[in-house]
Structure 1
Amino acid sequence: MKKFPRVSIIILNWNGWKDTIECLESLYQITYPNYDVIVVDNGSEDDSVQKIKEYCESRMEVNSKFFEYNPKNKPIKVFEISEDKARKGKFNRPLYEKFDVDRRLILIENKENYGFAKGNNVGIKFALSVLNPDYVLLLNNDTVVDKNFLNELVKVAESDKSIGIIGPKVYYYDFDGKSNVVHSRGGKVLPKLGLAPPIGNSEVDTNYAVCPPYDVDYVEGSCLLAKSKIIKNIGLLNETLFSYWEEVDFCLKAIESKHRVVCTTSSKIWHKVSSSIGKTHPIKLYYMARNKHIIIKNHYNVLNLSILIIYSSIDALISVIVYWIKYNCKRCVISLLMGHIEGIMNNIHTLKNQRTPILSSILK
């Protein structure tokens, strides 16, 4: 067993350089000694790439309530590569390895916005083929990490061979001025309702309590550590989802492959929830509504799927009323309806193809 297994950290950026450089500065202050930082720019339309390079060149300081800016590890060497070269594995690794872990950064520039799943997959494929890490960590660009977060994640992961995926306790970055309010301690899936509620949401954690690691259905995609051999076994993120529910799908695949998914509260990060696209953005509402149907269809039985269709029809009506009255957002209503309808119709088609006696009588 390696004392400090290699971890490749992948951060997806899309028009969010201010969040990204705060995330990077917190990462470069962690105590873990063996890691890579790979920023995948997902076809940003602002000046994200230039701003990230300015940060690395020490031309831009980062202010945060969670840490003090460290000028001593600057400049950070940026290894800038195109999406095509990343996919082909063209990279000067000998030169890269000459730099300390906190003084190097790999910047992959995707041609367009591929969404969360495909965008991250570019980075995952690159890491596995070029850097050969023991672990891959997916980290949202709108997070700030505790200096010991990675030590704790790896320590727990290494303690049990059955653990395939692990996540930390995730706090809200700012909850009415507080930084000790829990957003997630992993999550559970309620297949009949098409819901995946986070555990511990809105708990006030005055003592930053720690409990033994425990099994969950999924850990948040904002910070997900996976053993490389698990990724090679179950595959990459599901690109048909584009955005939202990808981590749920990924974790359920791991569980189905007899690997444990756990959360450890000894590791902690802070997350600016929904900062990249907003809580009521039509695109988010569409994929959130549609993708839950894909997840339940792929991972649960016919009974769950049947009940979900009924529940989602009711939920769609309620959601439309809420977004019409509360937000007066016609685009939100249309997006919600499109997502629900597409998901429901696809699942009805799936049920018809099952051709069981009970279903045949119901669907006549």
Structure 2
Amino acid sequence: MPKVSIIILNWNGWEDTIECLESLYQIDYPKFDVIVLDNASSDGSIGKIRKYCEGKLKVKSVFFKYCINNKPIKIFELTNKSLTNKIIPIELLDLPSNKKLILIRNDSNYGFAKGNNIGIQYALNCLKSDYILLLNNDTVVNKDFLNNMINVGEQDKKIGIIGPIINYYENKDIIWFAGGKMNWFKYPFYHHIGINDKEKNFYSGLNYCDWITGAAILIKTNIKDIKLNNRFFFGCEDVDLSLRVKNNGYKIVCVLDSKIWHKIGSSRKKSSNKKIVWIFRNLKTNLELMRIYKKVYLMLLPIYIFQILLKPLENFCINIFRILFRSSL
């Protein structure tokens, strides 16, 4: 049975993280290690995560019932500066997957790409994993989500990256992500399949696509160069990785029988409370992705600027239409 390392990045979000952990510790897949990397949180996250593992902090969720049976959870705690040749103690290896946690404390906020890369390198060097799953801390998983993805990955050696269908946490039957498609002529050129559609409209099976979101991305470790691009602090790392893997001849697939729920925008809200700052930061990141994959990106830049400027007008017209429609009822 393939071994999976599940990497969760935490930054000032312990409440989301322990809900995510509790859902993970109740899955039906038996062979996994959970690695939580803390990006120098200032909200007491480390202490709260320790308290949860001790069984002294219960988790409330509409998606599952809290389970005390696997508490206390044994923690193997490290810092990013002490990872060289550090392996899990034998007594920790002998524990069931839902009874242990690897906690790595980063000395700074390294962002999404570099922060996760620390965990990826540790999983490759010390855990010898067959798969690595990057999972957002603001997600909750279904019990069979990992088992269903691994089954698909093991059936086809040319599948390189796998993702689940992702629904909104607040509206659990509505889709946020069912695979990603690229369109270099429509800003921001990476687009969600099935967004805001009802889950019942999507059948079970596989959706072959161009990219998988970093909110939940399962990667085979026998692929070369699976680290995220450190050029990206937060945003486009997942698209960049998916495109690299696909360009190397591997398939990218969303498994519609595998499901999680996502609190959309939690990380973005924490990273910047100023909308205008976020818009320009997002534009810079998107253009960096474009520069890497399209040499003629400067020729397309006027089209993107026009589309960006047109978006507020489009939203205004949509809102006016909604007001007029409601008033006519």
TM-score, normalisation: structure 2 = 0.90
Contact 2:178 2:207 in 1 (8 A): no
Match of 1:277 in 2: 268
- Which digits, 9 at most, give the CA deviation of each residue in 1:95-136, with x for residues without a partner? 320211100000000001111000000000001000000000
Match of 2:102 in 1: 106
- 1:191 CA drift (Å): 1.2
Greater share of strand residues, 1 or 2?
2
**What is the aligned length?**
311
| Alpha-carbon distance in structure 2 between the residues aligned to 1:260 and 1:301 | 24
Letter paired with 2:70: N
Identity across the alignment (%) = 42
Aligned partner of 1:300 among 294, 301, 311: 294
SS of the equivalent of 1:234 reads coil
| Alpha-carbon distance in structure 1 between the residues aligned to 2:281 and 2:147 | 34
| Alpha-carbon distance in structure 2 between the residues aligned to 1:91 and 1:81 | 10
Match of 1:119 in 2: 115
1:257 aligns with 2:248: yes
Contact 1:116 1:243 in 2 (8 A): yes
Contact 1:41 1:49 in 2 (8 A): yes
Letter paired with 2:280: Y
- 1:286 CA drift (Å): 3.4
1:140 aligns with 2:136: yes
Match of 1:189 in 2: 182
Structure 2, unaligned runs of 5 or more: 316-329
SS of the equivalent of 2:98 reads helix
Match of 1:211 in 2: 204
| Alpha-carbon distance in structure 1 between the residues aligned to 2:85 and 2:278 | 32
Match of 2:283 in 1: 289
Contact 1:217 1:252 in 2 (8 A): yes
| Alpha-carbon distance in structure 2 between the residues aligned to 1:89 and 1:115 | 24
The within-5 A match list for 1:1-364 is 4-86=1-83, 88-175=84-171, 179-193=172-186, 194-206=188-200, 209-230=202-223, 233-278=224-269, 281-282=273-274, 284-302=278-296, 305-318=297-310
- 1:275 CA drift (Å): 1.1
RMSD (Å) for aligned C-alpha atoms: 1.9
- Which digits, 9 at most, give the CA deviation of each residue in 1:51-84, with x for residues without a partner? 0000000001001000000001000001111111
- 1:308 CA drift (Å): 2.7
Contact 1:8 1:135 in 2 (8 A): yes
SS of the equivalent of 1:238 reads coil
Letter paired with 1:204: K
| Alpha-carbon distance in structure 2 between the residues aligned to 1:210 and 1:228 | 29
- 1:299 CA drift (Å): 1.8
Contact 2:219 2:226 in 1 (8 A): no
| Alpha-carbon distance in structure 1 between the residues aligned to 2:51 and 2:32 | 22
SS of the equivalent of 1:81 reads strand
| Alpha-carbon distance in structure 1 between the residues aligned to 2:87 and 2:158 | 33
Contact 1:85 1:91 in 2 (8 A): no
| Alpha-carbon distance in structure 2 between the residues aligned to 1:301 and 1:58 | 54
Contact 1:10 1:37 in 2 (8 A): yes
- 1:182 CA drift (Å): 0.3
Contact 1:234 1:257 in 2 (8 A): no
SS of the equivalent of 1:211 reads coil
- Which digits, 9 at most, give the CA deviation of each residue in 1:172-226, with x for residues without a partner? 0013xxx10000001111112332110000011248x533212111011110000
TM-score, normalisation: structure 1 = 0.81
Contact 1:192 1:307 in 2 (8 A): no
